[in-house]
Structure 1
Amino acid sequence: MIDPRRLRVLRALADHGTVTAAAHALYLSPSAVSQQLAALEAETGHTLLERRGRTVRLTAAGAVLARHAGDIAVQLERAEADLARCSTGLAGEVAIAAFATSITEVVAPAVAALRQRAPQVRIRVKDAEGHASARLLTDGDVDIALAVEHRDSFAPSGAQFLQAPLYAEPFDAVLPPGHRLADAPEIRLTDLRDDPWITPWPGNPVHEAVLRACEEARFQPRVECLSDDFSAVCALVAVGAGVALVPRSALRGGRPAGTAVRPVGGPGPTRRVFTAVRRGSEGHPLLQLALTELRGQAAAMAS
């Protein structure tokens, strides 16, 4: 009989690539992970790992079993969801990973509403960008993740997740004091072709969205300042360091005096945010409750 707990260890090794990384994800020691994998080999009668010096890789049999481990994990999630439906009343904990702006605009209001609606439900929130939230979701550290859609969104483990659109928002142009277009009713990206730009760091979904929009407008922005903090971006705009495109919700908390915020006309970037849960867990009543509240808050923000 195969112990499903050892299958979880094998799956962690497949997801993370090394015994040390798998041990860190599972909160175990590397020696404990190695012992569990050795026991799994004894249970199955197959060599699952090929050891090369200090590294290991899955054998063909190990890769097959790791795929089945993923399917079994989904079935266990579904079993927990079905059992939860049998309980009377909602009680328990839901953990959510989200990036900073979505926490401010959607998650925090949803937490406040849930505390009134279902005070017996505890919500934990972790600030994490897409790649980090995907890992948290894979490892079972969170139940729901909010992330921005871009080419690398949850790519390594996408088959493990069920994703759904949450909201989409436009970007606004933030201009420094005295900018020639500060009073324009709207901005076209080509109007800012010759300005210095301020963007998030490469790898940030907003950076990729801004560069893609500029490419579609047939120019490459001259990026002179980089920051993943939109407050810092706006502060740099305020002292004349450049122009910026900022998601609209990130500007609701205020902006430095003197800057001008103008809508972008024509084809401009859009930030699309989605929710993700582990496949099989989507029927859990606590997750359904949290997702319903998140969708309600996102709709209220967009209205």
Structure 2
Amino acid sequence: MIDPRRLRVLRALADHGTVTAAARALHLTPSAVSQQLAALESEVGHDLLRRRGRRVSLTPAGELLVRHANAVAAELERAQAMLAAFDAGETGRVEVGSFASAITQVVAPALAELRVRAPGVVLRVRDVEGHASVPLLLDGEIDLAITEEYRLRTDDRRLTRFPLYTEPFDVVLPPAHPLGGRAEVDLGDLADEDWVVTLPGNPVRDVVELACEQAGFAPRIAHASDDFSAIGALVRAGAGVALVPRSAVRGVPVRGAAPLRRVVAAVRAGSEDHPLIKLVREALHHPAGTYSDS
């Protein structure tokens, strides 16, 4: 008989790549994780890991078992959701991870609505960049992640996602910039400018670099921050130009097809029908449905 608790350890190792990182995610010691994995290998009678220095990778048997572990985890989430559905009361806590502008755009209005419509539901909000919220979701640290669609693997069956809103990116220019009076700006006209961008790993930076590449140049990066208010302040100080989501800093529209950010809510597969999560999703869709990208 396979111990499902050990399957959770194997899933964490597959997600995080090292025993130390898996232990941190599971709030265990590295030695405890190693012991659990050794016991699991003994249970199934197969080597599940290849060890290469500090890092490990899954053997074919390990990959097969992880696929089944993911299916087991989803079924357990569904069982929990069905049990919760028996409880007609709307009481409980939901942990939400979201990047800052989506907190302003949809999470805060949803929280205000829930306080009136379902006062027994406590929404706990964590400010976390979209690319960092999905690991927290998979590790069980949060119940719902708001992130950018293009940061999610479309074949990841551990997640169920729901569209929230789509917004364009705008060009942000210093006050005295010669292009500041235009109704639209061609990105190609900014090829020789200094740029203020987000930090490496932030999905917004990926969008900016791809948009500039499609316009025929690589941005000359002078400053970087993940705080859009800081980016706006740097641009106003004349430090460079920026391309940011419209809800973060309003700027000048891009001429032609503007880069877009598609924002989604993601939950662990199987938990989408949990009554508390359904309440939160419905509340999120109300302010999201009023968003205009024009």
Q: What is the TM-score with the length of structure 1 in the denominator? A: 0.88
Give me the whole-angstrom Cα distance separating, in 2, the residues matched to 1:131 and 1:251.
20
The CA deviation at 1:108 is: 1.6
Count matched residues.
293
User: Partner residue of 1:256?
Assistant: none
Residue type of the alignment partner of 1:79: A
Residue type of the alignment partner of 2:284: L
Distance 1:251 1:86, change over 3 A: same
Residue type of the alignment partner of 1:91: T
Distance 1:71 1:219, change over 3 A: same
Give me the whole-angstrom Cα distance separating, in 2, the residues matched to 1:119 and 1:97.
20
Distance 1:50 1:175, change over 3 A: closer
Which whole-Å deviations, capped at 9, do the CAs of 1:5-29 have from their partners, x for residues lacking one? 2221122122222222211111112
SS in 1 for 2:252: strand
Farther-moved stretch of structure 1 (199-208 vs 54-63): 54-63
Which whole-Å deviations, capped at 9, do the CAs of 1:153-206 have from their partners, x for residues lacking one? 134983311123211111222221222122222222233333322222233222
Residue type of the alignment partner of 1:295: H
Q: Does 1:167 align with 2:165?
A: yes
The CA deviation at 1:54 is: 5.8
Give me the whole-angstrom Cα distance separating, in 2, the residues matched to 1:145 and 1:241.
33
The CA deviation at 1:143 is: 1.1
Give me the whole-angstrom Cα distance separating, in 2, the residues matched to 1:26 and 1:219.
44
User: Partner residue of 1:192?
Assistant: 190
Give me the whole-angstrom Cα distance separating, in 2, the residues matched to 1:18 and 1:195.
41
Distance 1:46 1:216, change over 3 A: closer
User: Partner residue of 2:146?
Assistant: 146
User: Partner residue of 1:30?
Assistant: 30
User: Partner residue of 2:69?
Assistant: 69
Give me the whole-angstrom Cα distance separating, in 1, the residues matched to 2:43 and 2:120.
42
Residue type of the alignment partner of 1:268: A
Distance 1:187 1:82, change over 3 A: same
Identical columns (%): 58
Distance 1:48 1:238, change over 3 A: closer
Distance 1:156 1:5, change over 3 A: farther
Task: Work out which of the residue numbers 272, 278, 282 in structure 1 matches 2:262.
Answer: 272
Residue type of the alignment partner of 1:183: G
Give me the whole-angstrom Cα distance separating, in 1, the residues matched to 2:182 and 2:124.
43
Residue type of the alignment partner of 1:175: L
Q: Does 1:233 align with 2:231?
A: yes
Which whole-Å deviations, capped at 9, do the CAs of 1:52-111 have from their partners, x for residues lacking one? 666554444333222211110011011111111111122111111111111122112211
The CA deviation at 1:245 is: 1.8
Give me the whole-angstrom Cα distance separating, in 2, the residues matched to 1:202 and 1:140.
25
The CA deviation at 1:50 is: 5.0
Q: Is contact 1:149-1:205 (8 Å) kept?
A: no
Q: Map of 1:1-303 to 2, 5 A cutoff?
A: 1-49=1-49, 56-150=56-150, 153-155=151-153, 158-251=156-249, 261-302=251-292
Give me the whole-angstrom Cα distance separating, in 2, the residues matched to 1:245 and 1:55.
37
Give me the whole-angstrom Cα distance separating, in 2, the residues matched to 1:62 and 1:174.
49
Give me the whole-angstrom Cα distance separating, in 2, the residues matched to 1:72 and 1:297.
35
Residue type of the alignment partner of 1:271: R
SS in 2 for 1:147: strand
Q: Is contact 1:189-1:268 (8 Å) kept?
A: no
Distance 1:210 1:24, change over 3 A: same
Q: Is contact 2:17-2:55 (8 Å) kept?
A: no
Residue type of the alignment partner of 2:71: D
Farther-moved stretch of structure 1 (223-232 vs 66-75): 223-232
Give me the whole-angstrom Cα distance separating, in 2, the residues matched to 1:220 and 1:52.
37
List runs of 5+ in structure 2 lacking aligned partners: none
